[in-house]
Amino acid sequence: MNILLLGGGGREHAFAWKIKQSPLCSQLFIAPGNAGTETCGVNIPISYNDFDKVKDLVLEKEINLVLVGPEEPLVNGIVDFFKKEEALSDVKIIGPAAYPAQLEGSKAFAKKFMEEYNIPTAAYKEFTAANLDEGIAFIEEQIPPIVLKADGLAAGKGVLILDDKEEAKAELKMMLGGKFGAASQTVVIEEFLSGIEFSVFAITDGKDYQLLPVAKDYKRIGEGDTGLNTGGMGAVSPVPFVDEVLMSKVVERIVKPTIKGIKEQALDYIGFVFFGLIAVDNEPYVIEYNCRMGDPETEVVLPRLKNDFVALLNAAAEGAISDQAIEIDSRAATALMLVSGGYPQAYTKGKKINGLESVSDSIIFHAGTKTVGENVVTNGGRVLALTSYGPSFKEALAVSKSNAEKVKFEGVYYRKDIGFDL
């Protein structure tokens, strides 16, 4: 089978690494990829947002299956585009159509869906510029912290948690006034939930599902979960506090009703459902849905998945996911993200990365990297994930940390406390 993988981050390197291990994969292409995916297949320098170019590539390389990594092309309708194009009718594509991708692409859509299927989530109300006054009055009634969410995709910046009502009112005005462009034309204001977050992943064929290993990521830049939010500074799998009792609540109250909703509404959804959850006194609530795998969660989830990943993707595409049985490595895995100095604010790209050849006992997943001549250089905020195995996440983290010391580039930073709260 010829496979095209869309994306170019750490998640995609982990996908490519796993796909390459499958005897079912003949040729792998990655668009655009990074310096890591290059070692698993052939990078093609096109934008995944240019659907016509993706189509040409699929036809030229006789691609049988396309795996979409990031949310943007999904929310923008790449799956719908594939279904409309006669020439692509035989090509399998893994990802939801634009309408169900709104589970991630529209907070208001996700909230309505959860309400309809009685899925536990924070209480909420949605507001537009037309009812700004009601929004202000609603904030006045709340006990802070106040959670404001831009309805649409805002590059991970659309959620604001504010301790001060007046500040929340001012932010609501700015958001509805276009602070995040079209993404904040609608704003969801929701109840603040206090607890500990974790991530559950399902792969679905639209009717049934299989669960992948549970993970937890660390989004803040600073140790002890302080400072600005990032795409993710590290991840662990499994998550020690997610025991059988909590997991069975997640499955019964959240996963099954979500898949039931997808099936009942005949949503065109083949691919991953990422449940961003929070446990409040051991009761799980949905913080958000994503319509794709997480990054850096994928860098710990896939190393623990023993299944042939291509077989799993193919089963999802053929409506036969229920025939698969998931096998999980009993070892723990920890991913440590090495980032550019300054990230998540301004940073410089193009720094030469040294010492990669000295890394042992960790898997190097490239994120923001590219090859320039003989060198691998930084090409993004999140540069590399170092994933290690261990009897527990702590031992795995120790291996990743000792390898992180060997990787050098100007300004390199990483958190040393991944898993600190577990």
Closer CB to ligand GLY, 327 or 421, in the complex = 421
122 binds ligand AMP (CB under 6 A): yes
Count of residues near ligand GLY by CB under 6 A: 6
Task: Tell me the C-alpha to C-alpha distance, in Å, between residue 124 and each of 99, 129, 154, 192, 368.
Answer: 22, 17, 19, 10, 36
Closer CB to ligand GLY, 105 or 232, in the complex = 232
* Chosen residue from 288, 295, 297, 299 binding ligand AMP by CB under 6 A: 288
The two tokens of residue 59 are 């036809």
Contact partner at residue 208 from ligand GLY, ligand AMP, none, CB < 5 to 8 Å by partner kind: none
287 binds ligand AMP (CB under 6 A): yes
Residues 238-277 as x/- pattern, contact with ligand GLY by CB under 6 A: ----------------------------------------
Closest CB 99 distance from ligand GLY, rounded Å: 21
DSSP characters for 151-204? SS--TT--EEEES-HHHHHHHHHHHHTTTTGGGGSEEEEE----SEEEEEEEEE
Rounded (10°) angle between helices 98-105 and 107-116:
100
Closer CB to ligand AMP, 238 or 294, in the complex = 294
297 binds ligand GLY (CB under 6 A): yes
Q: Name the residue type at position 80.
A: D
Mapped onto helix, strand or coil, the DSSP state of residue 74 is: helix
72 binds ligand GLY (CB under 6 A): no
Stretch that binds ligand AMP, among 191-199, 329-337, 348-356, 381-389 (CB under 6 A): 191-199
Half-sphere exposure of residue 301: CA atoms within 13 angstroms, side-chain side = 28
Half-sphere exposure of residue 109: CA atoms within 13 angstroms, side-chain side = 18
The two tokens of residue 149 are 């969410």
Q: d(Cα 309, Cα 15) in Å, to the nearest integer? A: 9
* Chosen residue from 3, 57, 108, 193 binding ligand AMP by CB under 6 A: 193
Site residues (CB under 6 A) for ligand AMP?
122, 147, 159, 161, 190-193, 197, 276, 287-288
